[in-house]
Structure 1
Amino acid sequence: MNFATSDPALMPLVERYLAPSDRELLVPVLNQLGEDADSRLATLADTADKNKPTLEHFDRDGNRVDRISYHPSYLELSKAAYEQYGLSALSHRGIHGWTGVAPHLAKYALSYLFVQAEFGLACPVSMTDAAARTLRKFGDPELFGAYIEGLTSTDPERRFTGAMFMTETQAGTDIAMTETKAVPDGGAWRLSGKKWFTSNPDADVVLTLAKYPGGDSTTRGVGLFMLPRLRPDGTRNSYVIDRLKDKLGTRSMPSGEITLDGAYALQVGELDRGFKHMAEMINTSRLSNAMRSTALMRRAVAESVAHARQRVVFGKPLMEQPLMRMTILPLQLEAEAALGLIFHSGDTLQKADAGDERAKALIRVLTPIAKHYICKRARFVTGEAMEIRGGNGYIEDWPNSRLLRDSHLGSIWEGSSNVIALDVLRCMTQYGAHQVVGAAMAEKLAALESTDCAPGAQRLTDAWHELVQRGDDMLAQSTEDAQALIGHYTNSLAWLIMAVLLLEQAQHEMTAAGTYRKLLVANSYISLIVEGRTDSTPEALAWLDEIVDGAQVPREAALKVFK
């Protein structure tokens, strides 16, 4: 199975969002990676998951080395990610035929395929990309040029990997509680303290936070620093890896605890804006996090369909059993809706980077909305997929257990769901983000009047009016009440955004190719997921095979959902 060509939603989104010149370069690489992910990378990932990295504190002469040893399967995956496909370099330099940098969506589309094979490595890949972006945006180009060059290189002899060390035992969510200290040392700084959860702890380039002299007790008293693994003279920097974490998932990729002991570091940006600068890296990683969870959902759905088609129960394949079809349908709808939000967010980020002020406001809230909903929903989808496979899904010989274990990290990395929901509330309080998003979605829905999308569009128009008003009412309540309600409200925002994007994509596919499959998907998502109409059998059940295969369905079937 080719992960790219077998995905009914991916290529139509690529066709719509990317310019012809970009598609010409991207599609061959997507096809190559799609085949590679299934035939080679997924097997390597299964092996790496079962052979965790190990930490060697001292060499045979008693010298402290803190060397992490990786299984050859993980090293092969790293070579594919960093070198062959250049996943962390795509947004920074011309590769795969691009003379300049590729659009963000090229990176997200390729990474989406890679993660369906291997989730754990995608964390350091994302942090490497985000570290380069942060240093480029806030750092002195002369001071950090060599580090940026390494972070964006695909050369096995020159490339660097990146990481961010933020979490301390007392300072995870509350960054103002950071206890790591930074003291000036000529043109550099010396950092001392402990970091509790550091993924990719042997990274070449680390961005970290520390208190600086004279800083206040808020997040403005925390500066951002670049911590290289090696000092400029080539010697090991003054920090040690105390131990590696024993984790539920992402077992292939190490996470550890770090003690900094006067470690050499360079200041990034303005001292009192360190946390704001770090937020750039965090927000970029959060969107990548949502993309990774979307990939887990897609792989889980593909596994479920493949199993249901070959497993015979009571004389016929599971895929022909009505209740199983009703089980698989919402999983497919969730996966497609999530991918649509990832593409829209990546496109919005591209426009924001180009200076579009409206896009900047939109991506600021779309990122936490996507992270909050998609990452948590992936836990449900992968869990259902495990149950569909039954006992085999529960054992480690099949990919379901790894998908489920990995899915739980998405809701924790770069901020747990509650932290992310409070970020959505912050956006709403600061600039009325719910109104900004509502207005953007209203424009999309207005463009669907007098089309076959009109019945669903009218339902969503009414729902958006109610949701924006609900947001206004929530903000008028006490802070405590608003905080209590924001989690459910964020889910509602996600549902309606994804429903609008599905309808918009359906209109594109009807216009460009005369196909009605996506309209059936969009209308079914509105009916089953948004409106919760589970008391009647959706029209989509009769056409489930066509939905999961990307085949044509009759116009009448798509329109019948709301008749």
Structure 2
Amino acid sequence: MSLPDRNNPYSFNAFLDWRENVDYYADDPFAQKVVRTFCGDMAGEVDAAARETSKKASFKWRKLSEALAWPEKRPYMKHYDGHRNRIDRIERPMETQIVEKEVFGEALFSKNTHPWVKLIKMFLMYQNGEYCVSCPLTCTEGLVAVIEPFADTPELKAILNHCKEGVDGEFAIGAQYLSEIQGGSDVPSNLVEAVEEDGVWKLYGTKFFCSAAHADYAMVTAKPKGSEKVGLFVMPSWLPGDKKKERRNSFTIDRIKWKMGTSELPTAELTMNGAVAYQVGPLDRGLANMVGVVLTYSRLTVGLSGASSMIRVWREASKYCEFREAFGVNINFFPMVMGQLADMEKTAKRTLAGAFRLYKEVLDLPGGFLGASKDEDDAMKKKRFMVRELVMLQKICTSWDCPDVVRAAMSMFGGHGVMEDFSALPRLYRDAAVNELWEGPRNVLLTQMHRDLQKAAAWLPPRELVGNILAGRDEGLIKEFQDEIEQIFKHPNLFEMSPETIAVCKQWDSFCHGLYHAYQDQALEMVESQD
């Protein structure tokens, strides 16, 4: 019976009390099992680090991430000071500066921080969305990884130390500036020019998508004067002594872009007019190192970020369905809702398990992504190739799955699901949509993987690669995937405009998604078999 009551006593407080007290790691037995499954002898140390970091990520950093995300706190440009000095200051809210300093203060890239500790901390931090932290962390990781093998000059050594160990307690933030107006993923079409003047490299030209534009250092692609090859350089935002004076390193920040998601992150257009930069690696290997190291780390992290978002939204949707009642029944007892929650749970958990499994594969590569040697045996050569393809598979699969899971979670909240002040779900949904585009959108990576497999077919047939990816799974399932990939590769390419090619493109898209799901499902089984 429901009689009129002008003083409606209904309250969301029971759900809110639960949400305000959730500890991302301590209250997540599945994440703990993932650590025990994949971290080996490091599991105890990783677990302890996770419990400590989770106390910050789940409470203080979560609250700060929610406070800084309001539209009125979006970053904006101040091009000049009161005395008409060009400063190009990016104004950001105090909440952003606090959480950024504390997160980077975790020294994730220090020689004293084990990779598994770094990974679990990033997983917990990413449950808060972008909040002007996730992208800069990812970019800094890639910057450190690509500079480290080539840090043979005082400048590069200083930059590396600033990012890894900090200077006077301040840890540097990295960025990566590749895209130009004529092409985002088409890096070989870059036109930014690098000119060596009196023994110093200087950059001239414009970059069109520069995320983390507030960073201290940026990896920048540019073509040396007169060359068609793409070189790789690291560009300081300020030269020594100039940061306090707000005097940029001979470049201007022309404007900040207005994005649908990751709105707390300043993404800008830049013009360089003789910006001092330092060469990283051989000039004719700049594109290879940028894609092979920097973008590979970024793509790897997209998978972790997607897992983080999905775990959080599934957890909150599940609890809300336990709390919310409709037509006299808690809505988690409706069969349709129960089925949808089960699907969300499986996707979230297999994504997390798959991310940790793939990271273990990366750690097992001698020397990491730059460690290949000419005398490496065939087995390791094939392993290295497989891991690179898995990184791209994870990126396209996870970044596609994540918006679906967040959207499904939002639907569990009904109209409240789209209310910006009711939960973080709308913000996480927008971030998920943007993450699909970073580091190569789906079509680019699908095409790249197809070309990779064609080039490698002489020494690693696609059928064998599929068998390696799914090793240990049911032989019938493996054969299905192997037969399908052989059928796909009977078609010569993905570029001939014909109905047959369009059909093969669709089949390749579906095949890649299914193949990586099978890899994730195996990782999930590995976790669930733990005591």
TM-score of Structure 1 vs Structure 2, range by shorter chain:
0.7 to 0.9
Aligned to 1:380: 404
Q: Relative to structure 2, which stretch is displaced further, 325-334 or 315-324? A: 315-324
Alignment of 1:242-391 (within 5 A): 242-279=254-291, 280-354=293-367, 356-391=380-415
Deviation at 1:435, TM superposition (A): 3.6
Deviation at 1:39, TM superposition (A): 1.9
- The answer to whether the 8 Å contact 2:467/2:482 transfers is no
SS at match of 1:246: coil
The match for 1:115 among 122, 126, 151 is 126
Deviation at 1:264, TM superposition (A): 1.1
Deviation string, structure 1 residues 444-492 (Cα, Å, up to 9, x no partner) = 23xxxxxxxxxxxx3xx21221212211221121212354543222112
The answer on 1:94 being equivalent to 2:115 is no
Tell me the TM-score normalised to structure 2 length: 0.86
The match for 1:41 among 53, 61, 81 is 61
The match for 2:230 among 222, 231, 237 is 222
Deviation string, structure 1 residues 21-49 (Cα, Å, up to 9, x no partner) = x2232212211222322222111111111
Alignment of 1:138-537 (within 5 A): 138-154=150-166, 157-216=169-228, 221-232=229-240, 234=242, 236-279=248-291, 280-354=293-367, 356-397=380-421, 398-432=423-457, 434-445=462-473, 458=474, 461-480=475-494, 481=501, 483=505, 485-507=507-529, 509=530, 513=531
SS at match of 1:230: coil
Deviation string, structure 1 residues 239-276 (Cα, Å, up to 9, x no partner) = 01011111111122211110111111111111111100
Measure, in 2, the Cα distance between the counterparts of 1:289 and 1:406: 11
> Please, what is the CA RMSD of the aligned residues?
1.9
Measure, in 2, the Cα distance between the counterparts of 1:194 and 1:159: 27
Measure, in 2, the Cα distance between the counterparts of 1:139 and 1:155: 17
Paired amino acid for 2:239: R
- The answer to whether the 8 Å contact 1:225/1:267 transfers is yes
Paired amino acid for 1:30: A
SS at match of 1:352: coil
Deviation at 1:142, TM superposition (A): 4.0
| Alignment size in residue pairs | 479
Deviation at 1:430, TM superposition (A): 2.6
- The answer to whether the 8 Å contact 1:49/1:250 transfers is no
Q: Relative to structure 2, which stretch is displaced further, 421-430 or 244-253? A: 421-430
User: Which segments of 5 or more consecutive residues in structure 2 lack a partner in the other structure?
Assistant: 1-21, 372-379, 495-500
Aligned to 2:146: 134
Paired amino acid for 2:512: T
Paired amino acid for 1:474: I
Paired amino acid for 1:297: M
User: Which segments of 5 or more consecutive residues in structure 1 lack a partner in the other structure?
Assistant: 96-101, 446-457, 514-563
Measure, in 2, the Cα distance between the counterparts of 1:188 and 1:410: 36
Measure, in 1, the Cα distance between the counterparts of 2:506 and 2:336: 36
Identity of aligned residues (%): 24
Measure, in 1, the Cα distance between the counterparts of 2:24 and 2:168: 26
Measure, in 1, the Cα distance between the counterparts of 2:454 and 2:311: 34
- The answer to whether the 8 Å contact 2:57/2:124 transfers is yes
Q: Relative to structure 2, which stretch is displaced further, 45-54 or 132-141? A: 132-141
Measure, in 1, the Cα distance between the counterparts of 2:166 and 2:316: 32
Deviation string, structure 1 residues 103-138 (Cα, Å, up to 9, x no partner) = 3x3222211111112324110011011101111124
Measure, in 2, the Cα distance between the counterparts of 1:294 and 1:357: 29
